[in-house]
Homo-oligomer: A and B are copies of this chain.
Amino acid sequence: MEDEVDRLVAAWRRERPDLDVEPLEVLSRVSRLARHLDRARRTAFAEHGLEPWEFDVLTALRRAGSPYQLSPGQLLTQTLVTSGTMTNRIDRLTGKGLVKRLPDPDDRRGVLVRLTGDGRDRADQALAGLLAHERELLAQLTSGQQGELAALLRLLVAPFDNIPG
């Protein structure tokens, strides 16, 4: 089946036949798919009363394992946002009673953000909901194709994740 990117690439070939627009076949699809996924995630989380950004923070803490705490700095690297954004997120999650701030006993500049019981429950529920939705989207692909796709994407992401940038 054809998609928007097929149309986009065809248009460039018509308008700029001098250019090689092959890279768009991959990267424009990544960007557009991510945008669609964001919207779908927003809908999925709404069923659990969470915003996507709340999910990102809560699940990062949940994944850390008991006692479910990380520093704001660790949260930054996992969620790819700036420090000002993270401060704001922690403030709002604290207001909702989903996390709380504790002083870091080893570094008085630092803070530890810890999941509350309520926060942990919400994270677990939302994760289950998200996985159900994502499984539907991926039903287009065989299990083997999913593996291929994951492996190819890993090759592209790894440089960003390993070389500081």
Contact = CB atoms under 8 A, between A and B. Distances in A.
Interface of A: 1-6, 8, 11-12, 14-16, 19-27, 29-38, 62-65, 78, 80, 124, 127-128, 131, 134-135, 137-138, 140-141, 145-150, 152-162, 165
Contact of A134 (B5, B23, B128, B135): B23
A27 B22 contact: no
B4 A78 contact: yes
Contacts of A154: 1, 3, 5-6, 29
A11 B65 contact: yes
Contacts of A140: 155-156, 159
A123 B22 CA distance: 18
A154 B23 CA distance: 14
A156 B138 contact: yes
B150 A25 contact: yes
Contact of A162 (B3, B64, B137, B153): B3
Contact of A156 (B2, B22, B141): B141
Given A64-B11, A154-B1, A27 B37 contact: yes
Given A11-B64, A152-B152, 18 more contacts: A12-B63, A19-B131, A23-B135, A25-B146, A27-B137, A27-B138, A29-B153, A29-B154, A29-B157, A31-B37, A32-B157, A32-B161, A33-B34, A34-B34, A36-B160, A137-B159, A145-B152, A149-B152
